[in-house]
Copies of this chain bind each other. A is one copy, B any other.
Amino acid sequence: MSELLEAAAEAGKLDAADGLAALRERFVLDDVVYLDGNSLGALPAGVPARVEDVVRRQWGELRIRSWEESGWWTAPERIGDRIAPLVGAASGQIVVGDSTSVNVFKALVAAVRMAGDGRDEILVDATTFPTDGYIAESAARMTGRSLRPVTPAEVPSALGDRTAAVLLNHVDYRTGRLHDLPALTAAVHAAGAYVVWDLCHSAGALPVGLDEHGVDLAVGCTYKYLNGGPGSPAYLYVRRDLQDRFDSPLPGWNSHAEPFGMRPAYAPASGAVRGRVGTPDILSLLALEAALEVWDGVSVEAVRAKSLALTDFFLRCVGEYVPDGLVESVTPAAHAERGSQVALRCADAGDVMKRLIERGVVGDFRAPDVLRFGFTPLYVGFADVERAARVLAETLE
């Protein structure tokens, strides 16, 4: 038991020295170790009162007047600007709305159209979360291009004169592997193609640097590390100098230059607004807006440092507590290749996760054999990490 005592003592020291520890108060939490924030972020404490105001006063009392008076109409771009600094984007390049899948479709079709008729192939991450692959297949079919699944490592050699666009994940949903966004973006550009990054598993957990690295288009969900709530709307980034060339496959009235002009002919708006489609989903959008207030005064770099410390510590505790051979990490050991989750391959992983949850350690299971543990630095501490590893060891014994 000396390893247990040692690790528990170290967890206490790490928590005491954690400059982000107080942020936990900004969330509604209990004594569960919640390591599933990479699937659904915990409830920020300010959300319930905001949602109540939106429902009772803005909708119930002001009704239709709220489209102007409560700022409903401009919520997609206003909340986009709130997300922007978290992903390294200047304002005016992100709109919030629709699901990640719908935004992948918008971004990928627009990227193919930017590339022009001479380029007939789309590359897609073969290890992607499946929806991106399904949507990429539809985008390829509907733009008359062929689709070629390749691993991110294979992208540089697969690029060529035929490549129109490349759809990549910043962090792999299953393994937690972080891909090299700057290098891959540069490689895509060197081939004269356009890149779409899916930030679902990186935004809010680590610096993305969209502007710095010249990313063309990006999408992401807001219900993981951004804590927007179940199924909260996704976002779309279009780099400023590409916005005039963004030719949406979903040109709904909200993206019109004059949406209330009721013109029969479509004329796209300028700027990020061009990525909008239909009437924005106000309840979910404004819940997300309240949720984003937990980021006030928080540096993404500090979040990243804590994230790496948490996953390092988890891997160390698992190594010390769990008998050899029972689990195998499929998450890279190198910091440069690691997101904010640890994925452990394990026999009967589905059943093991059920037992972990019963014992107050909540991660999730991804078929066929992976236990996923996500570490949200805003509310997960080192004592949580030690407890999770300990309960895992006890469960497996």
Interfacial residues, chain A to chain B (CB-CB below 8 A): 28, 30, 34, 36, 39-40, 42-43, 47-48, 51-52, 55-56, 58-61, 63-67, 72, 98-102, 105, 109, 126, 129-131, 133-135, 137-138, 142-143, 149, 174, 221, 223, 229-234, 248-254, 256, 260-264, 266, 277-285, 287, 357, 362, 364, 366-367
Contacts and interface: CB of A to CB of B under 8 A. Distances in A.
8 contacts: A40-B67, A42-B60, A43-B60, A130-B264, A134-B251, A134-B256, A261-B367, A262-B367
A39 B48 CA distance: 26
Contact of A231 (B105, B174, B280): B280
B105 A232 contact: no
A28 to B, nearest CB: 4
Nearest to A364: B64
Q: How many identical subunits does the complex contain?
A: 2
A145 to B, nearest CB: 12
Contacts of A135: 250-252
B134 A279 contact: no
Nearest to A44: B60
A142 B137 CA distance: 14
A229 B134 contact: no
Contact of A52 (B48, B129, B278): B48
Contact of A101 (B36, B64, B253): B253
B36 A63 contact: yes
Given A138-B250, A266-B137, A277-B102, A42 B55 contact: no
Contacts of A232: 281, 283
A229 B279 contact: no
Nearest to A30: B61
A260 B367 contact: yes
Contact of A134 (B39, B221, B266, B285): B266
Given A72-B231, A130-B253, A223-B279, 15 more contacts: A36-B64, A43-B56, A43-B60, A48-B55, A51-B52, A51-B55, A100-B278, A102-B250, A105-B249, A131-B254, A133-B266, A135-B250, A229-B283, A230-B282, A231-B280
Nearest to A40: B64
B52 A281 contact: no
Contacts of A264: 126, 130, 133, 149
B279 A99 contact: yes
Given A102-B250, A134-B256, A262-B130, A283 B60 contact: no
Contacts of A364: 64
Q: What are the nearest 10 A-B pairs in CB distance?
A: A99-B278, A101-B252, A101-B278, A230-B282, A131-B253, A43-B60, A231-B281, A134-B266, A142-B142, A28-B60
